[in-house]
């Protein structure tokens, strides 16, 4: 699972395009084949076939830099990935029509463009759950 792929910064949730490409190269060299979550669901519920060595590559929170840096690397290695959308971020950056690789999130038009490429599947992360993430403790009962 990845979050941000950036040249300009590094951190706990940010890796460079070079590291991401190195990861993709190693995955390919080891004989893994990327699949979508929908492929896995079809395997479980509909007895569909999977490759011998399936792997799911995911991007959490769908940052704009996923489009800017990661997509071309995935295309280079003919790999699939799943991007999980936080709906409120998509709505806000669509409304502002702002595309910024340092902190921006994909806009609806970016998502439409990426969907047409065929190597990205979008899944739901949440609509606005991040605002309460600090208070959440998994499935534990929330104290009032």
pLDDT, tens digit, 9 for 90 and up, residues 65-122: 888 889 999 999 999 999 988 888 889 989 999 898 888 888 999 999 898 889 999 9
Query: In angstroms, rounded to a whole number, what is the distance separating the alpha carbons of residues 39 and 41?
Result: 5
Query: In angstroms, rounded to a whole number, what is the distance separating the alpha carbons of residues 50 and 72?
Result: 25
Indicate the pTM of the whole model: 0.82
pLDDT at 136 over 90: no
As a dihedral over the C-alpha atoms of residue 62, residue 36, residue 111, residue 118, rounded to 10 degrees, the angle is: 140
All structural domains of the chain: 4-130 (3.20.20.370)
């Amino acid at each position: 699972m990845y979050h941000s792929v950036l040249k300009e910064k590094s951190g706990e949730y940010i890796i460079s395009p070079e590291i991401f490409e190195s990861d993709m190269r190693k995955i390919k060299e080891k004989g893994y084949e990327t699949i979508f979550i929908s492929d896995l669901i079809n395997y479980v519920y509909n007895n569909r076939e999977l490759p011998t060595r399936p792997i799911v590559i995911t991007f959490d929170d769908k940052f704009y830099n996923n489009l800017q840096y990661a997509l071309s690397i995935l295309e280079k290695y003919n790999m699939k990935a799943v991007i999980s959308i936080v709906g409120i971020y998509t709505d806000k950056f669509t409304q502002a029509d702002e595309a910024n690789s340092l902190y921006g999130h994909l806009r609806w038009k970016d998502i439409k463009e990426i969907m047409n490429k065929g190597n990205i599947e979008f899944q739901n992360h949440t609509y606005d759950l991040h605002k309460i993430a600090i208070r959440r403790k998994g499935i534990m009962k929330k104290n009032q």
